[in-house]
Structures are given as structure tokens and as C-alpha cells.
């Protein structure tokens, strides 16, 4: 439950206003100067992936969006070939595809744990009835009662809070995985025109 509340709190902190593209979808611009700074040096089964730092940036963006949003990511780059752009878009999808698979595994494991907790809860509830029926000592009944409620609350925590947290993670990973990616050249920065040494000398003489 603490993890769930921490996640909700972090989501509120990350909430932000996005620019909108022509279709009215959230629009984000990221300028990349060096491709090696955002691509992982490792690959699994020949599949390139982005590094953890860049993935964390996109993950934080995903958490600040609604699952219904269709994010438009515009990447500003210099001199990237079409093949490089396709490879980089695929690297982003590879990372979040793995993240989706991992979260789905967590949800599946979470569901199994829930039923185990339910089974133990029912087992100890039965033991509690037997203890009452056979007039077991108070201390025995009390211990069984405490254990029973422990399993009941653990089952509630697993299904109501942990599972909800994993669902949130799954939905926000899907936002990033399904986002639209486009590429543009970065805008040219205006620089002040510097006077040549001759012009500076001439201005000095005139003054």
C-alpha cells in the first residue's frame, strides 16, 4: 500500500502541461546531440535499446500523462540518416516492449500470490472455527485469529493496491510504446555578428 501511495504522490509531482500538436495530442521535443549518449552499448538478440537514463526521462513523461493520451515525440537531430532514425525509434520500442513484458509478468505473479493468500485465509478461518468448536484455550484462538487477519489483509493489499500499481505502470508504458515519433533538424541559433579587426580599427579611428 505504501508503494501505491508513493506512486500516486510521484504522479502528482510529475503532472505537467504539454504543448499540443496539430491533432491536439501532447507534444514533446527532445534535442539529441550525440546518439551514443542515449543508446545502450549492449543489445540482446541483436536488438538495440535505449539506455536507462533516456528511458527514465521518457518513463517520467509517461507517468505524467493519461493512459488515453497519444504522445507525439519530436526528436531534434543533426545529420541522422533515415536508417538511423528507424533504428532509434525501434530501440525505444524495444526497451518499453521489455518493460511491458516484465510488468505483465508481475501482474500474473501478483494474481497467483493473491489466491495463495486467499487459500491460507480460508484455511485459518476453518482452524478458527475448529478451535471454537473444541473450546481451545484463549491464547490458541487469539493466535489463529491474528494469523487469519494477517493473511486476509495481505490478500487485500496484493489485489487492491499492488495490482493497481502494476496496472498503472502497464498503462503508462503503453503510452510510451505507442507514441508517435518524428524527426526534425534543431532550430538554428542566432549568433551576434562579430566585427572584423579591420572594421574595429576603422571605427576606432573615426571616433
The reported pLDDT for the residue numbered 189 is 58
- Asked if 92 contacts 62 with a C-beta cutoff of 8 angstroms, the reply is no
The reported pLDDT for the residue numbered 132 is 87
Side-chain-facing half-sphere of 18: CA atoms under 13 Å: 23
Tell me if 8 is assigned to some domain.
Answer: no
C-alpha angle 26/30/34, rounded to 5°?
Answer: 160
Query: Averaged in consecutive runs of 10 residues, what is the pLDDT profile of the chain (207 residues)?
Result: 46 61 89 87 82 90 86 90 91 92 92 93 92 88 91 88 87 91 80 51 48
Tell me if 127 is assigned to some domain.
Answer: yes
As given in the structure block, the three cell numbers for residue 18 are 504539454
The reported pLDDT for the residue numbered 7 is 46
Tell me if 193 is assigned to some domain.
Answer: no
CA pair distance 58, 49, nearest whole angstrom: 13
Tell me if 78 is assigned to some domain.
Answer: yes
Tell me if 9 is assigned to some domain.
Answer: no
As given in the structure block, the three cell numbers for residue 23 are 491533432
Work out how many domains the chain is built from and give that number. Answer: 1
Tell me if 6 is assigned to some domain.
Answer: no
Domain of residue 40 covers: 14-187
As given in the structure block, the three cell numbers for residue 121 are 485465509
CA pair distance 16, 68, nearest whole angstrom: 16
The reported pLDDT for the residue numbered 201 is 47
Amino acid at each position: 500500500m505504501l508503494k501505491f501511495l508513493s506512486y500516486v504522490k510521484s504522479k502528482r509531482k510529475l503532472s505537467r502541461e504539454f504543448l499540443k500538436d496539430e491533432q491536439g495530442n501532447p507534444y514533446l521535443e527532445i534535442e539529441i546531440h550525440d546518439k551514443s549518449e542515449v543508446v545502450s552499448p549492449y543489445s540482446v538478440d541483436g536488438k538495440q535499446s535505449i539506455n536507462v537514463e533516456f528511458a527514465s526521462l521518457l518513463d517520467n513523461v509517461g507517468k505524467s500523462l493519461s493512459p488515453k493520451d497519444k504522445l507525439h515525440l519530436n526528436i531534434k537531430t543533426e545529420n541522422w540518416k533515415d536508417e538511423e532514425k528507424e533504428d532509434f525509434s525501434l530501440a525505444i520500442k524495444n526497451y518499453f516492449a521489455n518493460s511491458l513484458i516484465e510488468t505483465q509478468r508481475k501482474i500474473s505473479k501478483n494474481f497467483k500470490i493473491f489466491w495463495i493468500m486467499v487459500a491460507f485465509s480460508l484455511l485459518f478461518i476453518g482452524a478458527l472455527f475448529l478451535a471454537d468448536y473444541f473450546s481451545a484455550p484463549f491464547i490458541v484462538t487469539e493466535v489463529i485469529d491474528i494469523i487469519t487477519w494477517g493473511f486476509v489483509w495481505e490478500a487485500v493489499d496484493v489485489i487492491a493496491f499492488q495490482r493497481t500499481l502494476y496496472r498503472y505502470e502497464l498503462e503508462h508504458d503503453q503510452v510510451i510504446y505507442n507514441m508517435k515519433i518524428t524527426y526534425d533538424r534543431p532550430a538554428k541559433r542566432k549568433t551576434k555578428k562579430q566585427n572584423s579587426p579591420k572594421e574595429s580599427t576603422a571605427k576606432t579611428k573615426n571616433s
